[in-house]
Amino acid sequence: MAGRVCGDHSGGGCRLEADGSISLLDTSGAIKWSSANHPNGCYFSRTDHFPPHTLVMQDDGDLVVYDAQTPVPVSPNHSISCVWATGSFSSTSEIDTPPQFISGHPLEFLDMFDIAANRGQEQGYVMQGWQMQPDSIDGVSQPLDVMHVWRVGRFNGMIRSAATACNDTAGKALCYLDRHPVFCSASEVLIDWRMTDCKSHGSRIQYQCMEMKDPLTCTQSKTTIATGATGSLDNLEKYRVSCDRYEYLQGFKMHHVAEQGPQSNQAYFGYTCCKST
């Protein structure tokens, strides 16, 4: 037997092949679709398979083919025996950057934080939001700050790098962050961002965006208006850029309160949240 029937499909059927691929058949038995020709949502790609294979619909919504290897976990959603997956699950979580001392420091010290949805060798998470927060040990606040990141994943998509224009940040107040709008394109969402030095002068924000497989429906949001924009970097704690559960952050920009001019001590962040449709 070439494979095992795994369900009906418009009068045809679904077959798990000996190589671990999934085939959808029409009523004549001809293959109309094969997972072998579609992106693999496993945590990493493999070329060696160990039959027999098992097709599993997981509680997280991911359809996965596993082989006979010992299922050692390699991610929150897959084990090492993952052969092919739709990658359609969504798992939300929160992470912090390492703490840094930035109290009273100017904007240029923002380069101490790598604000990313993935840590270490992780892949596939996209950003839902971020906020600078005071660090704490056993509930006791410390004179340090972290960047708290909300994230959701995992996804497979083409990754594109981009950057804002170079602008002077040395000794500058937080309000100069308005020179650095971070926005992905209409079909992309944000993975990470970080302020870096420019070779010529000043700093810029470098960021990465992921192309999403499904069309996106996006809405505009903004943080509360807060004071401290003409002050030091730690005033960034007052702004929470955060999308709803299972939404993705597409971009953000700092804005001054219009009636008080470009050097206003009051500001807010406008940001874009998207969901798959």
DSSP string, 38-60: S---SSS--S---SSPEEEE-TT
Say what the pLDDT of residue 243 is: 95
Are residues 196 and 79 part of one domain?
no
Distance CA 180, CA 185 (A): 16
Question: What residue ranges in the chain does DSSP mark as E strands?
Answer: 3-7, 13-17, 22-25, 31-34, 54-57, 63-66, 82-85, 91-96, 115-116, 126-137, 140-153, 159-163, 182-183, 188-197, 203-211, 216-222, 226-227, 241-242, 248-256, 266-276
Q: What is the pLDDT of residues 80-125, one digit of tens each?
A: 888 888 866 567 789 999 999 999 999 999 999 999 999 888 888 9
Residue 168's pLDDT band (cuts 50, 70, 90): very high
Query: Which of 9-13, 47-51, 142-146, 236-240 holds the top average pLDDT?
Result: 236-240
pTM metric for this prediction: 0.69
Q: State which of 53, 85, 117 marks the end of a domain.
A: 85
Say what the pLDDT of residue 2 is: 44
Residue 230 pLDDT exceeds 90: yes
Residue 43's pLDDT band (cuts 50, 70, 90): low
Please give the tally of structural domains in the chain.
2
Are residues 254 and 193 part of one domain?
yes
Q: Are 241 and 130 in contact (CB under 8 A)?
A: yes
Higher pLDDT, 72 or 74: 72
Residue 185 pLDDT exceeds 90: yes
Task: Residue 62: name the closest of 91, 89, 43 by CA.
Answer: 89
Q: Which domain holds residue 37?
A: 3-85
Distance CA 166, CA 36 (A): 44
Are residues 139 and 48 part of one domain?
no
Are residues 269 and 178 part of one domain?
yes
Are residues 107 and 25 part of one domain?
no
- Report, as an integer, the average pLDDT of 28-41: 84
Q: Which residues contact 227 (CB under 8 A, 6 or more apart)?
A: 235, 238, 265, 266
Are residues 195 and 168 part of one domain?
yes
Residue 1 pLDDT exceeds 50: no
